[in-house]
Amino acid sequence: MTQSPARPPAWLPDPLDDSLVRYWDGARWTFHTAVRQVAEAAAPVPAPQQVVPALRPDVAAALHRARGTLVGSMKEVNLLGGYLRPEERVLALTAAQGEGFGVLACTDRRLLFLFVGVVRRQFAEVDWNRAKGVFYDRTSKAFTVYTTKPTRKAQPALVVRVARVEDAQAVAHAAQMASAAPRLDVV
């Protein structure tokens, strides 16, 4: 059987009281203690500031109009510029839920939903020139966009949950003002 090397005698932090040091004689703790000298705390090092990219002017204006409806979706708002085409303008934003809570953005060209989670990410888009029907169900809070004639068997191109009908109407209204998007039917 191999013995571990003995610890040399020394004053060490007391295992029972952090404010004391206790003498270790090389074999065992003694009864000799002293008040532990605490070194002056160094000046705190400021944490590096995160560089938040400046929002595009159109995204910033839409964010201002959203007035607090994007709680919990600012990460996606900050990333939105990377998903936009250079020539398109954001007209309206609101919080929405797909595979997670993200942002629903209405541009002059399309409707898009962005969610970025720790494990999963979701990006869905529908160009307005392909949209045939836009619906909001008050009961389920589902905001649904169809690219085919909306029927019972039709599969929606985009479905997200929008908490308030006013937010769904704001997104749909912005789309109607800027493009040939179909009107929003609230059911």
**CATH number for the domain that contains residue 61:** 2.30.29
In a domain, 76, yes or no: yes
79 and 133 in a single domain? The answer is: yes
**Which has the closest alpha carbon to 162: 183, 140, 178?**
140
Q: Which domain holds residue 93?
A: 57-186
In a domain, 47, yes or no: no
Amino acid at 114: L
In a domain, 86, yes or no: yes
Q: Among 15-19, 127-131, 146-150, 160-164, which is the least confidently predicted range?
A: 15-19
Dihedral of alpha carbons 55, 141, 159, 130, sign: negative
In a domain, 1, yes or no: no
94 and 164 in a single domain? The answer is: yes
99 and 175 in a single domain? The answer is: yes
> Are the CB atoms for 112 and 103 separated by under 8 Å?
no
Strand ranges across the sheet with 10-13: 10-13, 20-24, 29-35
pTM here is: 0.67
Q: What is the reported pLDDT for 50?
A: 52
In a domain, 51, yes or no: no
Work out the average pLDDT over 84-112.
90
Instruction: Pull the structure tokens for residue 170.
Output: 């704001």
In a domain, 117, yes or no: yes
> What is the number of other CB atoms lying within 10 angstroms of the CB of residue 171?
27
131 and 159 in a single domain? The answer is: yes
150 or 179, higher pLDDT: 150
Number of domains in the chain: 2
Work out the average pLDDT over 61-66.
86
15 and 75 in a single domain? The answer is: no
63 and 28 in a single domain? The answer is: no
Q: What is the reported pLDDT for 172?
A: 82
Query: For the chain, what percent of residues have pLDDT higher than 70?
Result: 83
184, burial (CB in 10 Å: exposed 0-12, middle 13-18, buried 19+): buried
In a domain, 44, yes or no: no
66 and 26 in a single domain? The answer is: no
Query: Per-residue pLDDT for 31 more than 80?
Result: no
Query: Per-residue pLDDT for 5 more than 70?
Result: no
129 and 102 in a single domain? The answer is: yes
Widest CA span in the chain: 87
165 and 129 in a single domain? The answer is: yes
> What is the number of other CB atoms lying within 10 angstroms of the CB of residue 26?
10
Confidence of residue 44 (pLDDT cuts 50, 70, 90): low
149 and 64 in a single domain? The answer is: yes
68 and 148 in a single domain? The answer is: yes
- As a 3-state breakdown, the chain gives helix, strand, coil percent values, each rounded to 5, of 20, 35, 45
Work out the average pLDDT over 92-97.
91
Q: What is the reported pLDDT for 133?
A: 86
In a domain, 182, yes or no: yes
